[in-house]
Every structure is written in C-alpha cells, then in structure tokens.
C-alpha cells in the first residue's frame, strides 16, 4: 500500500515530538488527528499505527536503520514494515524486543530470563479493546445489543467485560455517551470485585485518578452506600464527576487530598479501602509503548518509596477488621507482592495478607495487573 507523503511527514513530526520533546504519544497522535481534518479513515489509521509501531520498536528500528533520527526511522519503517521483525535470533534480547537495557536487566533479575523474555514479547503485542458494561444502566446482553445496533460487534468475556471484535472508536457511540459502557481493560475490571464491596458500605478509593474503578465500585454497590474517591489532582476528580454523571453513579463523592489532614480525618471510617497505587505502568506498556522509554531506574525507586508511604499513611482509614485491596498495573514483583510483604512486616501484626493474584499478558489477553487483599487486625 502506497504511503502518502503528507502522512509520512506527519509521522516524522510526531516521532520527533515524542522522542526529542518528551511528549506523550497518545497526546501527540490525538493532536495531529484533530488538526488533519481532511484525512480519510485510511490515512488516519495509517498515521496512528505507524507512530505507535515506531515508538514500540524504536530500538530495533534504530539498530537496523543505523540511525535514531526521526526521518530515518519513519523511512526505514515504511520500507521494511513487513520484514523488520524477521530473523532476529542473533540480536540481544533488549534490542530484539526493543526495551531499555536496564529494564530488561531488572525484569530478568526479578522474574528469571525465561519469564522476562516472554513478558517482553507479550508487552509488544497489540492490546485488544475491552469494555465494561455499566450494570447500573444495562445488562451485558442489553449493552451488547445496543452496541450491535450501532455496528459495534463484541464478544462476552467474563463478569461485565466485552471484547471488541475489531478496533473502533466507541466513544462516539450512543451506548457510550448514554453511560452503558466504559472503556476498561478486562484485567483492570477484576480489581473492584476483588474488594467485594457490599451495598450500604462506606468504601474509599484513595488513588482514584480518572475514576474507572470508582465507577465500577458504585455499580457493584448498586448505588447504595457511599464511595469516596480521593486524589491529589483536582482535574482528575473533575473528570470523574463527569463520568459519574454519565454512568448514573449517584453514590460517588470526590475529595481532593490537599493536606495530610484529609487522610487523618478519615482514620478508622471505611469498611473497605482500594489503593490502586502509582506504579511503573509496566503492565500496560502494550497500550502506552512510550512509557518504557520515559521510565528510569530512579523513577522506579521513587515509586517504590511512594507505594510504601501510601500503604503506611492510608491503610489506617479502614476500620479494624476492614478490608484493603492494594493494586498495581505492573509486572514487577518488587512493586507487587514484595512491596506488600515489606509493609505487613513493618506493621508488626496490624495487617495480614489474605490472598493475591497476578494477571499477565503472557497467559491472557489482559494487561498486567497485580492485586492483594489485606485485612486490618481487630485490635
């Protein structure tokens, strides 16, 4: 298929912005597509796929093209798109799978070479699109039918998860705009049910972000009881409010963490607490391939300290006998079970691990997630 010159030039500009100006790939692509209104569906798809592929395979392409220049990378990719991933057995793992040396070394150290190799390969695969049916507004079957009426075919996975048969812009659909579905990976959809919230309880989502899991908690609680969504960023909470209105989630309250007093005032109040903590994001690199180039060893160390600080500061918000779920979108054990074990040991009997799981893109089509359920002692 001929590659139009305007699309190629736009790809070069986008790759330059991502690698040289350190901009986020999804924002760069979104901005470019917004400005190129005359492009048809084929050109838009070609542009987005090319930029994401070059970001994903940056190191391998640079090794083969013998250049890291954006123009050279795009030109090489356009010419060799179908063959550049062939006959790579003699290349080092980090180049073959296109990851930074330090991250490959860290993953190998923590999981072993065989597991690390499989994980790196899986994290380069194109992630499927999943929807979560909002059961406050529709059953899975009703949502599927509404989507099908709009030409969006889905396959039921499990729980409230639907997988799209082909990649489509669901955000423009009436089903999405009416709040029947949310875009959420099926692995992420396992976290809120793991907390097992009951209608009528007081549940805190302490690192709520844009609120995907808060919305899921509200649905599981059938809009009864109270979900308190906390975050350090007001703009994320404003986005959550919009999403909650669309979803019909009336039991969600938002609160900005603008001082330590916010947390202290909630001590011993919650029946259940969700801590979806900031992490490396290594489990979702399939969707955010530029993350592997932005992450550094220093940032990973900083995140580790932050995770422990959040556990120690936020866990007292749950009542004695209450339940906590700690979760990450990471495939690194040092951010997952090891972090919880360190916390529980330091807490000297105040908390205990009940059960935990790790979802991996190796064994499933889902992104990489870890979750651990902890209980607070009664005394």
- Residues marked as catalytic: 329
The 3-class secondary structure across the chain, one letter per residue, is: CCCCHHHHHHHHHHHHHHHCCCCCHHHHHHHHHHHCCCCCHHHHHHHHHHHHHHHHCHHHHHHHHCCCCHHHHHHHHHHHCCCCCCCCCCCCHHHHCCCCHHHHHHHHHHHCHHHHHHHHHHCCCCCCCEEEECCCCCCHHHHHHHHHHCCCCEEECCCCEEEECCCCCHHHCHHHHCCCEEECCCCHHHHHHHHCCCCCCEEEECCCCCCHHHHHHHHHCCCCCEEEEEECCHHHHHHHHHHHHHHCCCCEEEEECCCHHHHHCCCCCEEEEEEECCCCCHHHCCCCCCHHHHCCHHHHHHHHHHHHHHHHHHHHHEEEEEEEEEEECCCCHHHCHHHHHHHHHHHCCCEEEEEEEEECCCCCCCCCEEEEEEEECCC
């Amino acid at each position: 298929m001929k590659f139009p010159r305007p699309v190629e030039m736009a790809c070069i500009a986008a790759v330059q912005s991502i690698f040289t100006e350190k901009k986020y790939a999804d924002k760069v692509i979104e901005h470019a597509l917004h400005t190129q209104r005359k492009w048809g569906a084929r050109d838009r798809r070609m542009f987005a796929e090319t930029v994401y592929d070059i970001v994903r395979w940056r190191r391998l392409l640079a090794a083969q093209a013998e250049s890291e220049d954006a123009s050279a990378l795009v030109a090489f990719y356009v010419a060799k798109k179908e063959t550049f991933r062939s006959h790579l057995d003699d290349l080092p793992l980090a180049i073959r799978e296109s990851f930074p040396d330090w991250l490959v070394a860290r993953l190998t150290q923590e999981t072993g070479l065989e597991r690390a190799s499989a994980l790196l390969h899986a994290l380069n695969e194109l992630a499927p699109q999943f929807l979560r049916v909002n059961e406050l507004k529709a059953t899975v079957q009703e949502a599927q039918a509404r989507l099908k009426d709009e030409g969006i075919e889905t396959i039921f996975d499990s729980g409230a998860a639907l997988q799209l048969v082909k990649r489509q812009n669901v955000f423009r659909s009436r089903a999405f705009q009416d709040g029947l579905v949310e875009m959420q990976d099926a692995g992420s959809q396992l976290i809120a049910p793991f907390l097992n919230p009951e209608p009528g309880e007081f549940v805190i989502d302490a690192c709520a972000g844009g609120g995907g899991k808060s919305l899921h908690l509200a649905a599981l609680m059938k809009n009864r009881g109270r979900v308190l969504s906390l975050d350090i960023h007001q703009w994320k909470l404003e986005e959550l409010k919009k999403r909650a209105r669309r979803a019909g989630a009336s039991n969600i309250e938002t609160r900005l963490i603008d001082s330590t007093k916010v947390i202290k005032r909630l001590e011993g109040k919650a029946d259940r607490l969700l801590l979806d903590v900031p992490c490396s994001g290594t489990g979702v690199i399939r969707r955010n391939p530029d993350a592997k180039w932005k992450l550094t060893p220093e940032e990973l160390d900083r995140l580790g300290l932050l995770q422990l600080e959040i556990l120690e500061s936020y866990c007292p918000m749950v009542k004695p006998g209450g339940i906590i779920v700690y979760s990450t979108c990471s495939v690194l054990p040092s951010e997952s079970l090891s972090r919880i074990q360190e916390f529980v040991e330091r807490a000297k009997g105040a908390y205990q691990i009940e059960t935990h799981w790790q979802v991996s893109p190796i064994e499933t089509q889902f992104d990489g997630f870890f979750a651990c359920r902890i209980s607070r002692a009664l005394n």
